[in-house]
Amino acid sequence: MSSKVLIIGAGGVGGVVAHKCAAARDVFSDVMLASRTLSKVTAIAAEVEQLQGRRIQTAQIDADDVPALTRLLRDYQPKLVINVALPYQDLHIMDACLEAGVDYLDTANYEPLDVAKFEYSWQWAYQERFKARGLMALLGSGFDPGVTNVYCAYAQKHLLDEVHYVDIVDCNGGSHGKAFATNFNPEINIREITARGRYWEQGEWKETDPLSVSAMFDYPGVGERKSFLLYHEELESLAKNLRGLKRIRFWMTFGEAYLKHLEVLGNVGMTRIDEVMYEGKGVIPIRFLKALLPDPASLAAGYSGKTSIGCLVEGVKNGERKRHLIYNICDHAETYKEVRAQAVSYTTGVPAVTGAVMMATGKWRGEGVFNMEEMDPDPFLADVATRGLPWHVEER
């Protein structure tokens, strides 16, 4: 049985999701793309029609306007909403889904506008409301979080009797040719990277100064790269849901030029998220910086190189210590050929569509709020591989 789907958000990831949903004709009978900026929506729709040979519907909507979004959902009657808007808008979109009786999926957890802090508590608090309405909310169906959570679930189901240590490793080995740019929303990206590092070990959270802990890691398809310890949202749910876990950390690579620019911008106050007065007007520096930086979607043309993202899992199988790396390699140039997107957008957008397919087809079903690792990893991994993100396992 095919279903209608509503996509909210017309950035780089929204474009990938629109393309991939349009291509999934056997699952999605009708696709609507909605955003506050109508020009972005119509441009993506035209591109989808050209490359996928399918028309999709469009709408202009402010996702923070819950009554207006609720009306749109009631009029269109989708099976589910794919939220690839800003994380600040998650709760408003969840509210509208509850009002209209529509399933919900996102790729990044909620964070408030005025505090550089992200955690699942706000969305987990919706558990009973979604359950009472017989609805499903799937959180973090991107790559990290998302596929990385599913890799961990796969390791727990198939590779290890007990998963003791997890290191999530994320490398963008590509080059966009810009002096300084971010691969997804600059405001979210910079807030994430400049926050204190955090990891879970032996039942408690431990903190580090921003980008103060690093290690070398050999990434398949890319090679050895210096990687920095960050806090990332999937650590919170995985620490809760993996049995026998002793430690979980997240690592990401950054080039020297990127780090130098970030250091200087931080030193002069351009990464601040509080309001400052300029010529009698309130200005938030990081938002002004966002206006100056390239739109992440604009980086796709001419982007070269690959991403390599995976989970290094260690534990016990049949009494023996085992270590496996589960990973994906994605090529920027190939993703541009397919859907006019760079690989960072692609690796987030494709799993969002696979998560939506799992929900629309009933392969994943539940009432309430769920993180990815709580679901059966096998159908998801089989599907995401066919949609462009093949995965590999090697023993280390």
Q: Summarize pLDDT for 32-89 with one digit per residue, the tens.
A: 999 999 999 999 999 999 999 999 999 999 999 999 999 999 999 999 999 999 999 9
- 133-147, 219-233, 292-306, 342-356: the lowest-pLDDT one: 292-306
Task: Please tell me the number of Cα atoms within 13 Å of 314 on its side-chain side.
Answer: 11
Decide which of 59 and 291 is more confident. 59
Average confidence score pLDDT of the chain: 94
Task: Please tell me the number of Cα atoms within 13 Å of 377 on its side-chain side.
Answer: 17
pLDDT at 154 over 80: yes
User: Do 84 and 14 touch, CB atoms closer than 8 A?
Assistant: yes
Query: Looking at residues 81-101, what average pLDDT do you find?
Result: 97
Query: Looking at residues 283-295, what average pLDDT do you find?
Result: 87
pLDDT at 301 over 90: no
Query: Looking at residues 172-180, what average pLDDT do you find?
Result: 85
Q: Are strands 247-253 and 223-230 parallel, antiparallel or unpaired?
A: antiparallel
User: Do 230 and 193 touch, CB atoms closer than 8 A?
Assistant: yes
Distance CA 232, CA 252 (A): 10
User: Do 309 and 169 touch, CB atoms closer than 8 A?
Assistant: yes
The predicted pLDDT at position 273 comes to 82
Query: Looking at residues 232-248, what average pLDDT do you find?
Result: 96
Angle 45-46-51 from CA coordinates, rounded to 5°: 100
DSSP string, 36-51: S-HHHHHHHHHHHHHH
* b/e sequence 213-239, b meaning 16+ C-beta within 10 Å: eeeebebbbbeebebbbbbbbbbbbbb
The predicted pLDDT at position 1 comes to 55
Place of tokens 């474009």: 15
DSSP state, residue 157: I
Q: Which structural domains are found in the chain, ordered by start?
A: 3-143+345-393 (3.40.50.720), 147-341 (3.30.360.10)
The predicted pLDDT at position 193 comes to 82
pLDDT at 114 over 90: no
pLDDT at 297 over 80: no
Distance CA 232, CA 119 (A): 9
Distance CA 63, CA 71 (A): 12
pLDDT at 327 over 60: yes
pLDDT at 113 over 80: no
- 192-201, 344-353, 363-372: the lowest-pLDDT one: 192-201
The pTM of this model reads: 0.93
The predicted pLDDT at position 139 comes to 98
pLDDT at 2 over 70: no
Distance CA 299, CA 131 (A): 41
Distance CA 151, CA 390 (A): 12
pLDDT at 288 over 80: yes
Stated as kind and residue range, the H or E segment containing 190 is helix 186-194
Query: Looking at residues 196-200, what average pLDDT do you find?
Result: 95
Percent of the chain with pLDDT over 70: 99
Confidence of residue 192 (pLDDT cuts 50, 70, 90): confident
